[in-house]
Structure 1
């Protein structure tokens, strides 16, 4: 009996739900016009041009404590799915809960651990309100099948000093610039449907390889580094803080990672917040943005007391947390990211059909309203 892959299962679930009419329209247009007012503490720096792809672009920021809470007239309970509660990119959500930032907005937020393929049908049916993850191939397939889901906010991009990404074992006489990956074996704990396929494809291209010319070997988190150092694979995608184990070792070279200044994940909304209760959707992001501006605006690992509290909150070792640079927390979504992701998915063979236009995948209007920015029509 053939086993369904998560991507196929999500697509079939989408078709079973039907191809809802709103799913094929601009979600902001379906909601209708909303009044966007200036927000104190959120000036010109609170919005950057989505077309600015400079790696050293300063992420959007408001003043500390801004945007201020605007409690909803009626208290709402929101259930947010996430694949993990201990990853650093989830830290703003965990801290917003701990500091009562969601409560200040009139929201009772509950985090539920669920992998993306399982969460997507629930999000589309309204049994979940949002997903803290990434627009993976399963999301694209789901939207193609009728899911009313949009990527509404970013999460982070790597720090300039981060070396989380693709590492290769050097042969005699090779250097980082001369490594050829064509015909090589690569170890990864991430499947081909992950957003990491985009930076991976870009790095492959810079080293004479395409996604179809590299043999992928999916491994457990504890086995990826062992396979690289033991010769089982020629290259490996090493996450924080695993790459520290080979950093500085001349037998290995860092070839590239997630693009700086370009978030690849964050908040995904379903019909509950997109259409039925956009006020709660804006309030949720307002609390998230305020937490970033207050606690994660810069190098948040510079303060020992803050790091200690964050480590306790995430249930990780503070030494491990500080062994890698602070993430650049960034709530904005860059222009063209959705297109680049879809291109990588098609090359990897995990999506089918014509690429979706950006408006079918992305909606920037929620975080724009939270900082008082009017998006031109």
Structure 2
């Protein structure tokens, strides 16, 4: 008998967000009209006098969030006149806060929660990208799904068919890009998500469950892949495909309605990438020093993990296709609270990144 996947829908969350959207409208706090063109433009270019407060939500100090965390750590936001504070919340917990204007933006990975929020009438938009995935070497030690060799074998390719009926861990219970990555991997063995049991595992618990044989496979987030690679009997079976990963800054009405603040925020992130995260930053002592503080890890962790790729130009190229593909996957899995696909123009606002590139940075002080 086929096991039912735990790819869950967010019905109660969507209902809450619909009420919140109605409340925001009733209070006269209009959202950015945006679409793909967005609210930012030439008149949104920041100056030295552009200052303000920004509240972000972040689940944890992940390396993929490094540009934001570094800009906080080394005082770049403060020097630019931006008072940026962080609330530690899961992605699901933070969506209502962003919708209500109690937080300005999420630093997160795009998931079903954001799709359902937009469908429910909340104006939240992906405004900035974070990392992109290069073509991975077969022997690269990377975050992703790791499995027990006594289940999937030790051959050149994992035997995905052996995962039928097995329990697999996921930090999002399959509601994010990891769900699609797992689905694509299982398809190589003629399986789909309904053929496995998905359980939520986060952080150190994921690797512990894999070692203890409580699960056949699980998503291992950075820097857990280092220990996983050193553990006999484990192997990586799937990771991000090359290109857009979905790690992003997703803004709500409070930030979208302040385009000059949003653009200055983006420009600080761009300058931070240039300063610390271009090329193999593991070989740059100052980058390693700042990353250890921002990510709260030992220098050895930075030096052993594969360097991530960040674009100082903040290009949103490929984001629309990424969301189209992810949304199509969620719709196929009945994981959304709606049936008709939303256009990318309701999900993405490229104007902040575009203006960050074209607006003067005369205000910037290294």
User: Is TM more than 0.5 here?
Assistant: yes
**Which of 41, 44, 56 is the equivalent residue of 1:34?**
41
Deviation at residue 9 of structure 1 after TM alignment: 3.7
Sort the Cα spacing of 1:214 and 1:285 in 2 relative to 1 into closer, same or farther, 3 A: same
Instruction: Report the counterpart of residue 175 of structure 1 in structure 2.
Output: 155
What per-residue deviation string (whole Å, max 9, x for no partner) do you get for residues 74-98 of structure 1? Answer: 42111112112x2222322222123
Deviation at residue 13 of structure 1 after TM alignment: 1.7
Instruction: Report the counterpart of residue 58 of structure 1 in structure 2.
Output: none
- Mapped to 2, the partners of 1:259 and 1:119 lie a distance apart of 27
- Mapped to 2, the partners of 1:178 and 1:136 lie a distance apart of 27
Contact 2:21–2:99 at 8 Å: present in 1 too? no
Contact 2:124–2:250 at 8 Å: present in 1 too? yes
1:345 aligns with 2:330: yes
Sort the Cα spacing of 1:252 and 1:277 in 2 relative to 1 into closer, same or farther, 3 A: same
- Mapped to 2, the partners of 1:163 and 1:74 lie a distance apart of 40
- Mapped to 2, the partners of 1:24 and 1:108 lie a distance apart of 22
- Mapped to 2, the partners of 1:347 and 1:262 lie a distance apart of 21
Deviation at residue 72 of structure 1 after TM alignment: 4.7
Taking structure 1 as the reference length, the TM-score comes to 0.79
Instruction: Report the counterpart of residue 332 of structure 1 in structure 2.
Output: 315
What per-residue deviation string (whole Å, max 9, x for no partner) do you get for residues 11-68 of structure 1? Answer: 122111245787796435573x83389xxxxxxxxxxxxxxxxxxxxxxxxxxxxxxx
**Which of 46, 54, 59 is the equivalent residue of 1:83?**
59
Taking structure 2 as the reference length, the TM-score comes to 0.81
- Mapped to 1, the partners of 2:37 and 2:202 lie a distance apart of 43
Deviation at residue 338 of structure 1 after TM alignment: 0.5
Paired residues in the alignment total 335
1:148 aligns with 2:123: yes
Instruction: Report the counterpart of residue 86 of structure 2 in structure 1.
Output: 111
More helix by share: 2
CA-based RMSD of the aligned residues comes to 2.9
Deviation at residue 288 of structure 1 after TM alignment: 0.6
Instruction: Report the counterpart of residue 132 of structure 2 in structure 1.
Output: 157
Sort the Cα spacing of 1:365 and 1:207 in 2 relative to 1 into closer, same or farther, 3 A: farther
Sort the Cα spacing of 1:255 and 1:294 in 2 relative to 1 into closer, same or farther, 3 A: same
Deviation at residue 233 of structure 1 after TM alignment: 2.2
Sort the Cα spacing of 1:15 and 1:27 in 2 relative to 1 into closer, same or farther, 3 A: same
